[in-house]
A and B are shown apart, each in its own frame.
Chain A
Amino acid sequence: MAKREVEEINAGSMADIAFLLLIFFLITTTMNLPQVQEERLPQKSDVEFLLNEKNVLQIMANKNDKIGIEGEFAEMEDIKDAVIKFYQHDDGARNLPSYIEVDKATCEDTIESLEAALAVYPDAALFKIELDAWTRRLDAVNAFGGTGFKTLPNNATISIQMDNSTKYETYMKVLDQIMLGLNHLRDSLCKDKFQGIPFSKLNDKVESDKQKISAIRQVYPKKIMKEKNRSVQ
């Protein structure tokens, strides 16, 4: 028997494989992003909005960080339920906002008449805001596959009032509770309309998901108004 020479394995392509891996991991690795809570400050304006009392959910915190909802003392955890009740309640309930019904026909009619009005008064800012709102509502109806929904009127807001001496922690917890309530509603609506997908799983980088997100935001908009700090009893 002839003795065979053991051949050496060629390691020249090893580097290529290693770098392929290296580049793959470099591209796919994402750092843990910082966690934040968002807020948009109001524009500076001299216009005082006239608010209907029942269209406002008033949340206050005094200098001892005690919470008040609609003028009565409450616990921090109560805010979540109050927010849910504010957005979702029986029609005609006392001291809660009445809904506006949104469906395809209403949207189209309103948009048509607003466009007609804008043709006559091209500078009417209020008409433009309304037209914008109803266009977005029509988009939402289409995203839900043509079914209508009911939502709060434009001037319904959650108002937060903090004492000058309230701790920042209390303010953050109040915002957190509001978002807990809102996200709970958004989540159940999302699961209901879009085959059980939770709201948090929608990705705003994907075009189809983006439409779903904005549709759900039309039904449950985040509307928080921060009032001037003053002393809260």
Chain B
Amino acid sequence: MSKFSKGKKKKEPGISTAALPDIVFMLLFFFMVTTVFKEKETNKLEIDKVAIKETIDLEKNIKASYFWIGRVPGTLDDFRVQLDDDLINDYEEIRNYLIKLRKNPEYSQVWDSRFFNVFKVDKKTEMRIVKKVQDELKEAEAFKVVYSVNKEK
């Protein structure tokens, strides 16, 4: 019966959890470093997006330049164009900006595949402005355009 004796039982040593914080921080840093926020919402214009029925998901892992067209908030001035971070005064700036962007190998490698021009346009904008911006895109040979919209329920 000695096999089942409840005599002297060895006490198990507790598992040390001292390494736990190290693991947590390792994970935290990993995700902090790898996370990329693509959408820079440094928007200086007021935009009321159009809602439509047939939409598609914007692809993941893309390179993009963002075009905002709308009014400066609180005013009833003309519609303005914002390219990435800055307001445009002259449409030619768009061409030069894109040509400069294309010199960057990060962009030139994906120019025809994963580079998009994302448009966020106020619904009241007149087509002449959109057209002028797109004429500049053609000059810079950036042909892929997506229009950011809301999904109509």
A residues neighboring B (CB under 8 Å): 2, 10-12, 15, 19, 22-23, 26, 33-44, 162-169, 171-173, 175-176, 179-180, 183, 229
Nearest residue in B to A61 (C-beta to C-beta)? B127
Whether A37 pairs with B146 at a CB distance below 8 angstroms is yes
In this assembly, does B118 line the interface, its C-beta being within 8 Å of a C-beta of chain A? yes
Whether A176 pairs with B52 at a CB distance below 8 angstroms is yes
- A2–B7 Cα distance when bound, in Å, is 12
Q: Known A162-B127, A173-B50; judge A36-B56 contact (CB<8 A).
A: yes
A198 to chain B, nearest CB (A): 13
In this assembly, does B43 line the interface, its C-beta being within 8 Å of a C-beta of chain A? no
Whether A26 pairs with B31 at a CB distance below 8 angstroms is yes
Q: List 20 A-B contacts (CB under 8 A).
A: A15-B23, A22-B27, A33-B57, A35-B57, A35-B58, A35-B148, A35-B151, A37-B147, A38-B147, A40-B143, A41-B138, A167-B123, A168-B69, A168-B121, A168-B122, A168-B127, A172-B147, A175-B147, A183-B54, A229-B128
Q: Known A39-B146, A44-B138; judge A33-B58 contact (CB<8 A).
A: yes
Q: Which of A163, A168, A175 contacts B125 (CB 8 A)?
A: A168
A8 to chain B, nearest CB (A): 9
Tell me how many residues of B have a C-beta within 8 Å of chain A.
44
Please name the 10 residue pairs, one residue from A and one from B, whose CB atoms are nearest each other, closest first.
A12-B15, A169-B123, A176-B52, A35-B55, A179-B54, A33-B57, A164-B128, A36-B146, A168-B125, A172-B50
In this assembly, does B139 line the interface, its C-beta being within 8 Å of a C-beta of chain A? yes
Contacts of A15 in B (CB 8 A): 17, 20, 23
Q: Known A36-B147, A172-B147; judge A167-B124 contact (CB<8 A).
A: yes
Whether A44 pairs with B123 at a CB distance below 8 angstroms is no
- A39–B55 Cα distance when bound, in Å, is 12
Contacts of B58 in A (CB 8 A): 33-36
In this assembly, does B106 line the interface, its C-beta being within 8 Å of a C-beta of chain A? no
Nearest residue in B to A204 (C-beta to C-beta)? B59
Q: Which B residues between 111 and 130 are near A, CB-CB below 8 angstroms?
A: 118, 121-128, 130
Nearest residue in A to B60 (C-beta to C-beta)? A33
